[in-house]
């Protein structure tokens, strides 16, 4: 998008002081005759080039001086700017979705490789205050771990867990446990990748025994 054409206009020595205050922002007018603009009954002369007679114009008084733009140019520029903003938003959204899909593929492959012989879900612990355990409480969950929560009672060798318990046995009775899911690009929820070292160690031991 090309910038709107700037038409310079002369400072009229007879303009009332209030005119400048009123026109500090853009104000509409029209090209009345060749080289002459009329803005709120005040006549301004173009320095050089002038749009055709009858063209709707806007006066802009800024630190750079007085200038006139055509309404068509200004509106085209605003439309182009709006379209550009929308294009950038769509692109950012697409990137977010693609990233979420990558995260999902990685989490699903990782979790499937644990080869746990029971139904389970990813879960995280919540303190009684309602804050996510390990998080800063400000929405930054970077340090929070994702556990394996047993969806059914398990008894594998000496390891026994009730349904709803965490595989690592952490935080029994001290925490509530909530599903730890993320949204894929399609909006579907998926289990986060397990990151609790104790849960992963227990899963590895089970896998070794089963082999
Ligand atoms: Zn754990």
Q: Mind listing the pLDDT tens digit for each residue in 23-40?
A: 555 688 999 999 999 988
Among 147, 150, 145, which residue's Cα sits nearest to residue 160?
150
The CA 127 to ligand 1 mean position distance, Å, reads 15
d(CA 23, CA 65): 12
d(CA 42, CA 11): 11
The CA 190 to ligand 1 mean position distance, Å, reads 18
User: Ranked by mean pLDDT, which of 160-164, 185-189, 194-198 comes out on top?
Assistant: 194-198
pLDDT class of 192 with cuts at 50, 70, 90:
very high
Neighbours of 207 (CB within 10 A): 14
Among 194, 206, 173, 204, which residue's Cα sits nearest to residue 123?
194
Kindly state the tokens that stand for 21.
Answer: 């205050």
pLDDT class of 109 with cuts at 50, 70, 90:
very high
What does the pLDDT read at residue 159? 87
CA distances from 193 to 66, 67, 102, 134, 168 (A): 61, 59, 12, 16, 15
More confident site: 2 or 44: 44
Counting residues of the chain whose pLDDT is more than 90, the rounded percentage is: 56
Q: Tens digits of per-residue pLDDT, 49-60?
A: 999 999 999 988
Do 26 and 33 meet the contact criterion of CB atoms below 8 Å apart? no
Strands 65-70 and 56-62: antiparallel
The CA 198 to ligand 1 mean position distance, Å, reads 5
Q: Which of 33-42, 94-103, 126-135 has the lowest mean pLDDT?
A: 126-135
In the predicted model, is pLDDT for residue 184 greater than 80? yes
The CA 63 to ligand 1 mean position distance, Å, reads 63
pTM of the model: 0.67
Scanning 9-64, the segments in alpha helix (DSSP H) are 17-22
CA distances from 112 to 10, 109, 115, 119, 189 (A): 75, 5, 6, 12, 16
Determine the longest span between alpha carbons in the chain, in angstroms. Answer: 98
Q: Tens digits of per-residue pLDDT, 131-160?
A: 565 555 544 444 589 999 999 999 988 889
More confident site: 16 or 80: 80
| Mean pLDDT, rounded, for 172-198 | 88
Q: Is 41 left (phi over 0), alpha (psi -120 to 50) or beta?
A: left
The CA 209 to ligand 1 mean position distance, Å, reads 19
The CA 136 to ligand 1 mean position distance, Å, reads 19
User: In whole numbers, what is the pLDDT of the chain averaged over residues?
Assistant: 85
What does the pLDDT read at residue 115? 95
In the predicted model, is pLDDT for residue 61 greater than 80? no
In the predicted model, is pLDDT for residue 165 greater than 50? yes
The CA 186 to ligand 1 mean position distance, Å, reads 28
């Amino acid at each position: 998008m090309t910038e709107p054409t700037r038409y310079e206009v002369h400072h009229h020595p007879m303009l009332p002081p209030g005119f400048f205050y009123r026109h500090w922002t853009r104000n509409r007018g029209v090209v009345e005759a060749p080289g002459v603009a009329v803005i709120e009954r005040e006549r301004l002369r173009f320095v050089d080039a002038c749009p055709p007679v009858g063209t709707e114009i806007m006066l802009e008084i800024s630190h750079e001086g007085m200038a006139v733009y055509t309404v068509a140019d200004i509106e085209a520029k605003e439309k182009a700017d709006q379209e550009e903003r929308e294009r950038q938003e769509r692109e950012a959204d697409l990137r977010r979705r693609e990233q979420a899909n990558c995260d999902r593929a990685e989490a699903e492959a990782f979790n499937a490789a644990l080869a746990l012989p029971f139904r389970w879900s990813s879960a995280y612990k919540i303190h009684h205050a309602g804050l996510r355990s390990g998080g800063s409480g400000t929405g930054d969950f970077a340090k929070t771990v994702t556990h394996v929560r047993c969806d059914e009672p398990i008894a594998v060798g000496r390891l026994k867990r009730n349904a709803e318990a965490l595989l690592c046995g952490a935080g029994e009775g001290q925490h509530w446990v909530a599903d730890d899911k993320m949204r894929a690009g399609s909006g579907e929820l998926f289990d986060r990748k397990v990151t609790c070292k104790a849960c992963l160690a227990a899963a590895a031991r089970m896998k070794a025994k089963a082999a």
